[in-house]
Amino acid sequence: MAVWTESEGKSVHDPLYHNFLTTKTDKCIVVDEPVIIGAGPSGLAVAACLKEKGIPSLILERSHCIASLWQLKTYDRLHLHLPKKFCELPLMPYPPGFPTYPTKQQFIAYLEAYAKQYDIKPVFNQTVVSAEYEDGRWRVRTEEGKAYLCRWLVVATGENAEAVIPDIEGLKRYKGKVVHTSAYRSGDMYRGKKVLVVGCGNSGMEVCLDLCNHGAMPSIVVREAVHILPREMFGSSTFGLSVWLLKYLPIQTVDRFLLIISRFMLGDTSRFGLERPHLGPMELKSVSGKTPVLDVGTLEKIKSGDIKVFPAIKHFTKHAAEFIDGRMEEFDAVVLATGYRSNVPLWLKDTEFFSEKDGYPRRPFPNGWKGKQGLYSVGFTKRGLLGASMDATRIAHDIAQCWQVMTKQPNHPTSRPST
Ligand SMILES: Cc1cc2nc3c(=O)[nH]c(=O)nc-3n(C[C@H](O)[C@H](O)[C@H](O)COP(=O)(O)OP(=O)(O)OC[C@H]3O[C@@H](n4cnc5c(N)ncnc54)[C@H](O)[C@@H]3O)c2cc1C
C-alpha cells in the first residue's frame, strides 16, 4: 500500500537579474532585497506590503505556481471556511459580488489578481533545503542547486507544508486505496464504495459530506472530543459573531453562549459519538490552536445514519479496520484527514526562533513574527489568513525602517543614479 499525497513538480528556473559571486564552495546569488520562502497567501502578502513601500523582494517557491496548497492540494468543493472579510490580504479587498464564502477557484483568482496588482513574480521550482546565518547574511540553498545570500529572510512556508501520515498499526498491509486529503479531489471515483475517513476536523467532515453526495458510503473516525458549531447563527457567521462578542465578554461567557445556541440548533452531538471537549470552543482554540468544526451539513448525514461514526482505530487488516470498541468493518478505501505540519525544522538552521518540535515560532501570537538577524515568520499564528495579514504588515514596516537607512548609504546600488 502506498499513501498518496500531492507531489511537487520540480524543474530548474534561472532567476534573471542577480549578480553571481563565486565562493570556495558554490555560486551564490547575492540578493539585496528580502528573500521570502513560499508563495502562498502569506508570502504574497509580505511581498505586496513591501512593494507598497517601494521595496522589492524575491520569493522562492518549491511548486510551479502561487498558492500551491489551494491550487494543488485541496478538494474541488472547498469554499473558504471563514467569511471573506476575515480572509482578505492587506491592501486589496475582494471584488464586489464575491459571496460570503468564496469557492476555492474564486479565492485563487483573487490571489492571482493580487500577485498581478503588485507585480509579484516568484522564482518557481526552488525548494529550500537549508538556510543558515553566517557572516551577517542568510545563506539559503535550494534542492535545485542554487544558493542565495540575503540580509532579510522571511519564512512563509506555512502551517500546512507537509501532510501528516499517522502511524496506524497494519496500515501498510491494508490493500485498499489510501489517500491523504491533500490528494483527494472529489467523491466521484468512490461512488458505491465504503470509505473510511480518518480525522474529524473541518476537512474530514467536509470530505464525508462530499462522499455522501457522490453516492459513496463514508464512515468517520472520531478519536478525540470535538466541538461542532453551526456555521451561521442568527443570520451571521458564527466566527464573526464570536469575534464580536469577544470584544465585550470574557471568553468563557462567549463559549457558554456558543454551546447553548449550538445545542439548540444541532442537538446533543454526543448522542452520535461526537463528545465535546471540556474547554469551550474559543478557549480551546486560544489554548491549543484546535479549530472548532463549522458544520456545512455533515451532521445531518451523521444523524440520518448516512455517515457512520467510529472511535479510534486499533489496527488495519488487509481489507478492514478494527476499532477500539471491538467493532470490525471492511472498507474499499481510506482517506486520511489527519492534517499537516510545518517543515521549518527540516531546513532552517536556527532553533532559537522556531521550535524544532512543531516548526512554529516559540513566541506565541502576536509576538512570533520577528526573530533575530533579519529573520521573520509570517502565517504561523494558528489564525489563518487574518493572522498572516497582521504578520505581513508588521514585517514590511519593520524591514522598511532598515531598508531606508541602507538605501541612503552612498555605495548602495539603489542609491546610485542609473546610467
Ligand atoms: C482545506 C483548507 C481550508 C482552509 N480554509 C481557510 C479559511 O477559510 N480561512 C483561513 O484563514 N485559512 C484557511 N486555511 C488555512 C490556510 O492554509 C491558510 O490560511 C493559508 O493557505 C496560509 O497561507 P500560507 O502562505 O501561510 O501557507 P500555504 O498556503 O501553505 O503556502 C506556503 C507555500 O510555501 C511553499 N513551501 C513550503 N515549503 C517550501 C520550501 N521548503 N521551499 C520553497 N517553498 C516552500 C509551499 O509550496 C506553499 O506554496 C485552510 C487550510 C486548508 C488546508
**What DSSP string runs through 29-75?**
EEESSPEEE--SHHHHHHHHHHHHTT---EEE-SSSSSSHHHHHSS-
Q: Is 314 in contact with 322 (CB distance < 8 Å)?
A: yes
- Beta-sheet strand order (sheet of 153-155): 58-60, 35-37, 153-155, 375-377
Mean of pLDDT values over 73-93: 96
Pocket of ligand 1 (CB under 6 A): 37-43, 60-63, 67-69, 74, 78, 80-82, 87, 127-128, 156-158, 160-161, 203, 343, 347, 379, 384-385, 388
Confidence of residue 411 (pLDDT cuts 50, 70, 90): low
Distance CA 14, CA 127 (A): 13
Mean of pLDDT values over 243-250: 97
The residues, ordered by sequence, that sit 6+ positions from 77 with a Cβ below 8 Å of its Cβ are 186, 206, 210
Which pLDDT score, from 0 to 100, does residue 289 have? 86
Residue 6 has pLDDT above 50, yes or no: no
The residues, ordered by sequence, that sit 6+ positions from 65 with a Cβ below 8 Å of its Cβ are 39, 71, 72, 124
Which pLDDT score, from 0 to 100, does residue 12 have? 27
Which pLDDT score, from 0 to 100, does residue 405 have? 83
Which pLDDT score, from 0 to 100, does residue 24 have? 37
SS3 121: coil
Which pLDDT score, from 0 to 100, does residue 22 have? 34
Residues 342-388: tens digit of each pLDDT: 999 999 998 899 999 999 999 988 999 999 999 999 999 999 999 99
Name the residue of 12, 13, 49, 81 whose CB sits within 8 Å of the most ligand 1 atoms, as the mutation to test its pocket: 81
Q: Atom 13 (ligand 1): residue with closest C-alpha?
A: 384
Which pLDDT score, from 0 to 100, does residue 87 have? 97
Q: Atom 14 (ligand 1): residue with closest C-alpha?
A: 384
Cα distance between the two ends of the chain: 62
Q: Is 390 in contact with 381 (CB distance < 8 Å)?
A: yes
Distance CA 62, CA 180 (A): 20
Residues 272-326: tens digit of each pLDDT: 999 999 999 999 999 988 999 999 999 999 999 999 999 999 999 999 999 999 9
Q: What is the mean pLDDT of the chain?
A: 92
Which pLDDT score, from 0 to 100, does residue 359 have? 97
> What pTM did the predictor assign?
0.91
Q: Is 289 in contact with 197 (CB distance < 8 Å)?
A: no
